[in-house]
């Protein structure tokens, strides 16, 4: 009977609490509530961490005007629909689902809530949908530049590229990197290993070790976190090109450079447009000239000459005198993919499933 009493007290307590909480939920109106959703932990020093930094930047840049929330570790499945619905029920009016795989659930939620604005990272939204926009920096541009650096620095002409899954975004990156690499070093090759997971550090370490043993002297990666590959490379005296975060301090001997996101200013720009009611749907891609993606610092082993060459490429990309995916481009089987003089359009980029010559590995799907 004691149990019953306790149970009644607890239940009563819970109901009371519910009322108190729902009472306090109303009230604040002038503030724009902004919600972020990440697929992994926000402290991964990688992809999700970068978005969290962006959110913090947004919160501090527009004090009093926005209230931001982040929900982490939401799988790219039906779960994310629930999270978005709850955000909306909590008054969130601008949602950033930051992972590519959230797109389909977002389409469904957006359909149900025409008054809420959704900003998807990547993917292509059809024209008839009025409350979704997609955004992403062209991270393949700095990828091209880091390819140049790797091409100048490699002695064995073999580069290892560790990836999670062979999706178009990553294939873009591999191709851009290889194009940059071979623009200065036509004999160099890129060897791709896929770990079948965005985050599995022990397997990443073994993949790195395997690549090193088979004769690569530069490693790069497209994973949720670059840390394991960078650390493993440093341990075995191999150079690395990083991603997501500047890890120069971590790998003083082997660090070359890397690609980084700069979400903060982009999130401020988007949020401002929503606040001013100037926001428009569409598919937005930002090059290096916009400053939302950049090179991380050069490692001390990179000679000034190579650094200058890389920076030259950056400025060429910025003034569009250099375009990464510009024809003629053939895939590694010799088939023409982008005709002479043509520049790859959004659809070509977002559905890229072919590899340029110089890439070796298991990615070929067709």
Partner 1 sequence: MVSGHWQKLRRAALYTLGSLTAVLIAFLITAVFLLLVGRNPIEVYIGIYQGAFGDSFSFSETLVAATPIMLCGLGVAIAQWLGMMNVGVEGQLYLGAIGATYVALNCHFTHSWQLLPLMLVGAAICGGFWSFIPAILRVTIGVSEVITTLLMNYIALLLVEFLIHGPWEDPNNVSWPQTAAFPAIAELPHLFATRVHLGIVFGIGIALLFAFLLPTTKIGFISRVIGSNPDAAEYAHYKVKRYQVWAMIISGAVAALAGFSQVSAIEGRLRSGLSPGYGYTGFLACWLARHNPIAIVIVSILIGGLLSGADSLQLSAKLPFATVNILQGMIFFCLLATEQYINKLTSKSNIESNTESPKVLRSEA
Partner 2 sequence: MNIELSEFLIAVAAGMVRSATPVLYATLGEIITERSGILNVGLEGIMLVGAFTGVAITYQTHSVGLGLVAAMIAGLLLGLFHALLAIYFQANQVGVGIAMTIFGTGLSAYLGMDYVGKQINTLGTFKLPLLSDIPVIGPIFFSHDILVYATFILVPLIAFIINRTRLGLTLRAVGEEPRSAAAAGINVELTRYIATACGAALAGLGGAYLSLAYAQGWSENITAGRGWIAVGLVLFASWNPFRALIGAYLFGGAISLQLRLQAAGLDVSPYLLGMLPYVLVILVLSISTARRKNAPSSVPTALGLPYIPQV
Q: Does residue 253 bind partner 2 (CB under 8 A)?
A: no
**Beta carbons of 218 and 241 less than 8 angstroms apart:** yes
- Which CB sits closer to partner 1, 198 or 298? 198
Exactly one of 12, 31, 60, 104 binds partner 1 (CB under 8 A); which one?
104
Q: Are strands 336-338 and 329-330 parallel, antiparallel or unpaired?
A: antiparallel
Exactly one of 33, 56, 113, 250 binds partner 2 (CB under 8 A); which one?
250
Residue 87 binds which of partner 1, partner 2, none (CB < 5-8 A, kind-dependent)? partner 1
Q: Does residue 302 bind partner 2 (CB under 8 A)?
A: no
CB of 310 to partner 2, least distance (A): 26
String of contacts with partner 1 for each residue 110-139, x by CB under 8 A: -------------xx---------------
Query: By CB under 8 A, what part of segment 78-107 binds partner 2?
Result: none
- Which CB sits closer to partner 2, 35 or 166? 166
Exactly one of 231, 259, 331, 350 binds partner 2 (CB under 8 A); which one?
231
**Beta carbons of 151 and 180 less than 8 angstroms apart:** yes
Q: Does residue 10 bind partner 1 (CB under 8 A)?
A: yes
| Cα 132 from Cα 114, distance rounded (Å) | 9
Q: Does residue 3 bind partner 1 (CB under 8 A)?
A: yes
Exactly one of 82, 111, 130, 156 binds partner 1 (CB under 8 A); which one?
82
Q: Does residue 201 bind partner 1 (CB under 8 A)?
A: no
Query: By CB under 8 A, what part of segment 167-186 binds partner 1?
Result: 167-168
Query: By CB under 8 A, what part of segment 203-222 binds partner 2?
Result: 203-207, 209-211, 213-216
Query: By CB under 8 A, what part of segment 114-153 binds partner 2?
Result: none
Residue count at the site for partner 2 (CB under 8 A)?
A: 44
- Residue 143: CB atoms within 10 A of its CB come to 27
- 3-class SS letters over the chain: CHHHHHHHHHHHHHHHHHHHHHHHHCCCCCCEEEEEECCCCCCCCCHHHHHHHHHHHHHHHCCCCEEEEEECCCCCCCHHHHHHHHHHHCCCCEEEECCHHHHHHHHHHHHHCCCCEEEEECCCCCCCCCCEEEEEECCHHHHHHHHHHHHHHCCCCEEEEEECCCCHHHHHHHHHHHHHHHHHCCCCEEEEEECCCCCCHHHHHHHHHHHHHCCCCEEEEECCCCHHHHHHHHHCCCEEEEECCCCCCCCCCCEEEEEEECHHHHHHHHHHHHHCCCCCCEEEEECHHHCCEEECCCCCCCCHHHHHHHHHHHHHHHCCCCCCCECCEECCCCCEEECCCCECCHHHHHCCCCCCCCEEECCCCC
- Which CB sits closer to partner 2, 173 or 204? 204
Query: By CB under 8 A, what part of segment 177-206 binds partner 2?
Result: 189, 191-197, 199-206
Query: By CB under 8 A, what part of segment 50-69 binds partner 1?
Result: 69
The residues of the shown chain that bind partner 1, judged by CB under 8 A, are 3-4, 6-7, 10, 14, 17-18, 20-22, 35, 41, 69-79, 81-83, 85-87, 89-90, 100-101, 103-104, 123-124, 165-168, 196, 350-351, 353, 365
Residue ranges binding partner 2 (CB under 8 A): 40-41, 43-45, 158, 160, 166, 189, 191-197, 199-207, 209-211, 213-216, 225, 227-228, 231-232, 235, 250, 360-362, 364-365
């Amino acid at each position: 009977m004691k149990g019953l009493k306790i149970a009644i007290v607890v239940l009563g307590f819970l109901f009371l609490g519910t009322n108190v909480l729902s009472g306090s939920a109303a009230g604040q109106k002038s503030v724009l509530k902004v919600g972020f959703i990440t697929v992994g932990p926000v402290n991964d020093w990688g992809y999700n961490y970068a978005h969290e930094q962006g959110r913090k930047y947004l919160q501090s840049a527009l004090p009093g005007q926005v209230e931001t929330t982040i929900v982490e570790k939401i799988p790219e499945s039906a779960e994310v629909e629930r999270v978005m619905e709850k955000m909306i029920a909590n008054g969130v009016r601008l949602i950033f689902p930051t992972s590519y795989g959230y797109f389909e659930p977002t389409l469904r939620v957006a359909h149900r809530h025409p008054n809420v604005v959704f900003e998807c990272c990547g993917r292509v939204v059809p024209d008839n949908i009025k409350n979704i926009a997609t955004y992403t920096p062209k991270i393949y541009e700095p990828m091209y530049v880091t390819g140049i650096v790797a091409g100048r620095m490699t002695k064995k002409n073999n580069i290892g590229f560790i990836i999670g899954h062979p999706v178009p975004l990553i294939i873009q990156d591999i191709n851009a990197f290889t194009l940059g690499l071979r623009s200065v070093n036509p004999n160099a090759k890129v060897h791709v290993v896929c770990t079948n997971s965005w985050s599995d550090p022990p397997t990443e370490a073994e993949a790195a070790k395997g690549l090193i043993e088979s004769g690569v002297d530069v490693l790069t990666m497209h994973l949720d976190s670059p840390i394991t590959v960078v650390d493993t490379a440093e341990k075995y005296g191999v150079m690395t090109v990083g991603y997501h975060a500047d890890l120069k301090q971590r790998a003083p001997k082997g660090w070359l450079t890397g690609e980084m996101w700069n979400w903060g200013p982009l999130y401020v720009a988007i949020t401002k447009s929503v606040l001013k009611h100037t926001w428009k749907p569409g598919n937005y891609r930002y090059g290096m000239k916009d400053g939302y993606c950049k090179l991380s610092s050069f490692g001390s082993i990179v000679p000034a000459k190579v650094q200058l060459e890389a920076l030259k490429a950056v400025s060429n990309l910025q003034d569009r005198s250099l375009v990464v995916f510009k024809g003629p481009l053939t895939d590694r089987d010799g088939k023409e993919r982008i005709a002479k003089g043509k520049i790859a359009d959004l659809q070509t980029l977002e559905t890229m499933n072919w590899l340029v010559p110089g890439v070796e590995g298991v990615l070929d799907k067709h």
